[in-house]
Structure 1
Amino acid sequence: MVTFQLARRGIAMPAVLDAMKQVPREEFIPEDLHEFAYEDSPLPIAEEQTISQPYIVARMIELAGLERSDKVLEVGAGSGYAAAVMGKIANQVYAIERHKALAEAAKTAIEKIGYGNVHIIHGDGTKGLPGEAPFDAIIVSAGGDLPPALKEQVAVGGRIIIPLAVNGHQMLTEIRRLDADQYEITDHEAVRFVPLVPEEDRPGHVTQGRRTPTAGRPGHMPPDLSGIMAAAAEPFESYGDLARMAERFADRKVVCLGESTHGTSEFYAARAAITERLVRDHGFNIVAVEADWPDAAIYDKAIRQSAEGRRHAEEPFTRFPRWMWRNEETWAMLRKLREINRGRDPQHQAGFYGLDVYSLCASIEAVLDYLGEHDREAAETAKERYGCLTPYCSEPGSYARMRIGNGFRGCEDKVVSVLTDLLTQRVENGEALFDAEQNARIVAEAEKYYRNLYYGDADSWNLRDSHMFDTLERLLEHRGPDAKAVVWAHNSHIGDASKTEMGWVREEHNIGQLVREKYGQDCALIGFSTHEGEVAAADDWDGPMKIKTVRPALENAHEDHAFRTDIGRFFLDLESLDGDHRQMLSEPKLQRAIGVIYRPETERASHYFRANLAEQFDAWVWFAVTKAVDAKSATPREGEDETWPFGV
């Protein structure tokens, strides 16, 4: 965490890095979240509050410029974690928390780890702590306006670090007191904290005989946000209706179709209907999906030529998670694509392609098979070079451990040289060579991907999505100047990451962002979401598929507002929203993301991130209630092996 999430992102003050190394973050979060303790993200604690992400804690403390002799005040102690970190640097730390239960829990955690110079106080932090003032530094761990009492309680020469409210957003701000009446203000980066609420503005507080109204306060659900969605929503009954609505984007070169889970039937069926319409009527000849290239190639061969009498060397998509592409919804689409392709010339037939980087060993085999048919000497050379990777085929993730002894360095050069040879010594042209080159690229990229897993930061994610984008670019070039592509991937891949917490906080990009940066108005990003129902997912990686109940969306999440429209299914064209409505739907809110693993017990930490809906997507498709994909037929029925998945 300290090396790759803090130092790499610019935290340079040695005292801060040392303190972050020493304080056990798991002591300040619920036990069921301990596995997420050192991820660079906020986590939920009691009283609907959060513990800030480690980077923000370090950033605020570094801006405060703490020294060993300092006395520090924190407003909004929360879990007590930031106060503990400051306690490893400063002489005395006083942290005020307005929630009594949180204050007591923080005090217990501080006492457990034995930090006697950190004092947790239950009270109203907006009033400061005049009995201990002046303070060399004041850190406010909640967003809003600067309370006047804090300006008076910071020492001359001291600093206040606070997320100030600026035009509806929060800006991390440094306020240095120059003398009794002068302050120097410096703005830093945009942030998002829970609101700073003075005692008189809290629910239930009585002022001059009347109760303070709750509507309009930070954190309260705007009463008309679901109304804005309802007014702009285009309800649909059938998937055919939805496909007609999506045709407004048929003039684009790339249309990306997302999903908020990897195991929802409605998402597959809806994307299939849109894809079939774009392929049949609008010249789209590439269907590129979040899947392994060698496995998708088997589906591709089945839809672009007759599968009758042709035997497959192996069944596709047999590794975890099998249900993503071995389900009835996918097979129904493949059958329709095959029908559309019949009678078309090869250039205008739609192909089915995998974009992902996981197929390390299957791609090695594909390269060796190709070279074995065309250049036996080159095949032997490639086999020798790939020898440094083949021992890790059963567990590619273990390749990252070679980083400890730099054992990967020679392997990296060897696997790249196989691709270089293919590119410079072309023995033929056409589909076979293109396929072999792509598999060689995957081996080279997979080597980097598994090596970067060691770091545990944004590098591996960015490498994977860059690879998916590069693959899409090569497909568009390969299929000719008139090529058009439909992309299927999770919302977290096809929604513009720069408009979400992925980009704001974790410095991650994705294929949707890269597509938008390259194609601008010539692309469309369409997200898909749901409120509740069932999903096919596992408890852990490589675990068995289960049909799991999807909990109702968290309050004030995008999905919660959509559910409150009382419209079961709708298409929301975000591009066509007027200025005021677009601005309201641009307010960052929680958004759910369920991958192949679903852990309802840690719903907030595991499956939500903040996003600007109106700018993340060009359109959004909503299903209030959904069911799991039909993956019962994960293997062909007896007698279907030769023609699977088209056996009847």
Structure 2
Amino acid sequence: MLVQTLRTAADFTALLERIGDARLVLLGEASHGTHEFYRLREQLTRRLIAERGFSFVAVEGDWPDCNRVHRAVTGAPGSLDPITALHEFARWPTWMWANTEVAAFCRWLRAWNLNQPPAGRVGFYGLDVYSLWESMQVIVEYVREHDPAGLDAVWDAYRCFQPYSREPQEYALACRFVSAGCEDEVARLLAQARAQMSLDGATRFDVWQNAQIVADAERYYRAMIGGGAHSWNVRDVHMADTLDRLLNHHGPAAKAVVWAHNTHVGDARATDMAAANMVNIGQLARYRHGRDAVVLVGFGCHRGQVMAAPGWAAPRQVMTMPPARAGSLEDLLHHRLPGPSLLVFPDTDGPPWLTEVLDHRAVGVVYHPGRERSGNYVPTRLGERYDAFVWCDQTTAVHPLHAQPAPGEMETYPSGV
């Protein structure tokens, strides 16, 4: 196993060699609120774009919000400055993407792109499923302007969701007690989106993607109220499908970097998620594209500070994350690695702890430091879950752009990841 101290972006060279000609590089994080995870992902992603020709970055964020950032970083006509585009992220927890760490990367990406021909500019996209109303609004506005004859199907879907006052949770509850849902209306909306295939490439893709979000979001919220693995799987399959659509949209030579939580990036089959019949993006990427085409990189830390909230949609706080519990992966690495390090795993003959089941910390946007001893850990076979691992012994919190929190969606499992 290769172990490399991380001081600068140059220290990622061994990982770039491991990545080789891989088409997908999935970069994780052990929390959504840690400065070092964002900074190190940025350093590695810059090198993948500049040295390996990666085509786009796809993140665990909403499509409409990220589309404004995409237009900003690619210099689309009439687009916003990247900072302004990030300020417009309105869904709680806004600090996940509207932070100074992402802003620095997006400004670099815009500067990089403006020195490239338009066809070669690197995109920035959202993979998530939460933007039911925002995606619906995009479709309404487009059809009203460009295809008035198709308004009936769009308005049918819009009116079906309208009684729930832009609260998908209310729709989920209604489906629990009343059999009627909006599936038929959404099916007609998808058919209408498919009818737009004569549009130019970028507009066609955006219309189709927003329609698919509406369809998958309807399924997600309907499944979520029942609990269990189904809603998680709807969400992660949607994100994996969106990633594949983006690869197809960018062409056969396209390569993608993904930024998401470890619970989405690391192969679920190497955790207790498998026993619960849960899948994730990393597992699906390996299955669909083959292990040689996919590199999964996990991130972890021992202690420090993190941006999180004590409850769903509650005001964010800088919280102190206590030292990892004894016997965990983080406890083991703390005693072996004194500072930021990169671990690149061998195909065979690694140290025994790579294949042992160890508890691996996972912190969501909702976090209770006092419950560290009983929660926040995922049993993991590290060498099977990831191809490499980035270690930060002590960490600090991200720096949000927004002054105030914004409303959010219902909690996902594990808490807010």
So what's the TM-score if we normalise by structure 1?
0.60
Q: Select the residue among 161, 171, 183 that pairs with 1:389.
A: 161
The question of 1:529 aligning with 2:300 is answered: yes
Using the TM superposition, give the Cα deviation of residue 479 of structure 1 relative to its aligned residue in structure 2, in angstroms: 0.5
Q: Select the residue among 224, 228, 253 that pairs with 1:453.
A: 224
Aligned to 1:368: 140
Aligned to 1:251: 21
The question of 1:346 aligning with 2:115 is answered: no
- 1:467-482 to 2 correspondence within 5 Å? 467-482=238-253
Aligned to 1:560: 331
Q: Select the residue among 41, 48, 54 that pairs with 1:271.
A: 41
Q: Paired residues, what number?
A: 400
Asked if structure 2 preserves the Cα contact closer than 8 Å seen for 1:283 and 1:348, the reply is: no
Cα gap change, 1:287 to 1:533, in 2 (>3 Å): same
CA displacement 1:310-345 (0-9 Å, x = unmatched): 598995311100100111000000011111111312
Aligned to 1:626: 395
CA displacement 1:532-561 (0-9 Å, x = unmatched): 000000001101110000111011111100
Aligned to 1:597: 366
- 1:237-316 to 2 correspondence within 5 Å? 237-238=7-8, 240-248=9-17, 249-305=19-75, 316=88
CA displacement 1:215-264 (0-9 Å, x = unmatched): xxxxxxxxxxxxxxxx74211212x1343333121421000000000000
CA displacement 1:121-178 (0-9 Å, x = unmatched): xxxxxxxxxxxxxxxxxxxxxxxxxxxxxxxxxxxxxxxxxxxxxxxxxxxxxxxxxx
Asked if structure 2 preserves the Cα contact closer than 8 Å seen for 1:347 and 1:479, the reply is: no
Higher-helix-fraction structure: 2
3-state SS in 1 of match to 2:300: strand
- What percent identity do the matched residue pairs reach? 40
The question of 1:334 aligning with 2:102 is answered: no
Higher radius of gyration, 1 or 2 = 1
CA distance in 2, matches of 1:471, 1:442: 9
Aligned to 2:268: 497
CA distance in 1, matches of 2:79, 2:60: 29
Aligned to 1:130: none
| Aligned-pair Cα RMSD in Å | 2.0
Cα gap change, 1:313 to 1:613, in 2 (>3 Å): closer
Q: Select the residue among 404, 409, 417 that pairs with 2:176.
A: 404
Asked if structure 1 preserves the Cα contact closer than 8 Å seen for 2:271 and 2:379, the reply is: yes
CA distance in 2, matches of 1:309, 1:508: 39
3-state SS in 2 of match to 1:606: coil
CA displacement 1:66-98 (0-9 Å, x = unmatched): xxxxxxxxxxxxxxxxxxxxxxxxxxxxxxxxx
CA displacement 1:282-333 (0-9 Å, x = unmatched): 1111100000000000100000016778598995311100100111000000
* AA in 2 matched with 1:628: A
Aligned to 2:410: none
* Range moving further from structure 2, 507-516 or 560-569: 560-569
CA displacement 1:358-383 (0-9 Å, x = unmatched): 01100000111111221113134302
Asked if structure 1 preserves the Cα contact closer than 8 Å seen for 2:30 and 2:261, the reply is: yes
- 1:190-205 to 2 correspondence within 5 Å? none
CA distance in 2, matches of 1:602, 1:360: 33
So what's the TM-score if we normalise by structure 2?
0.91
Aligned to 1:485: 256
Which runs of no fewer than 5 residues in structure 2 stay unpaired? 405-417
Aligned to 1:607: 376
* Range moving further from structure 2, 302-311 or 458-467: 302-311
Cα gap change, 1:591 to 1:481, in 2 (>3 Å): same
Displacement over 2 Å in runs of 4+: 241-246, 306-316, 390-395, 403-409, 424-427
* AA in 2 matched with 1:267: F
Which runs of no fewer than 5 residues in structure 1 stay unpaired? 1-230, 637-648
Cα gap change, 1:604 to 1:415, in 2 (>3 Å): farther
The question of 1:234 aligning with 2:12 is answered: no
CA distance in 1, matches of 2:222, 2:257: 30
Aligned to 2:201: 430
3-state SS in 2 of match to 1:251: coil
* AA in 1 matched with 2:281: I
Asked if structure 2 preserves the Cα contact closer than 8 Å seen for 1:573 and 1:619, the reply is: yes
CA displacement 1:492-522 (0-9 Å, x = unmatched): 000000110111x211010000001122211
Aligned to 2:407: none
Asked if structure 2 preserves the Cα contact closer than 8 Å seen for 1:287 and 1:488, the reply is: yes
3-state SS in 1 of match to 2:292: helix
Cα gap change, 1:585 to 1:466, in 2 (>3 Å): same
The question of 1:550 aligning with 2:318 is answered: no
Using the TM superposition, give the Cα deviation of residue 280 of structure 1 relative to its aligned residue in structure 2, in angstroms: 1.4
Asked if structure 1 preserves the Cα contact closer than 8 Å seen for 2:86 and 2:103, the reply is: no
Asked if structure 1 preserves the Cα contact closer than 8 Å seen for 2:72 and 2:79, the reply is: no
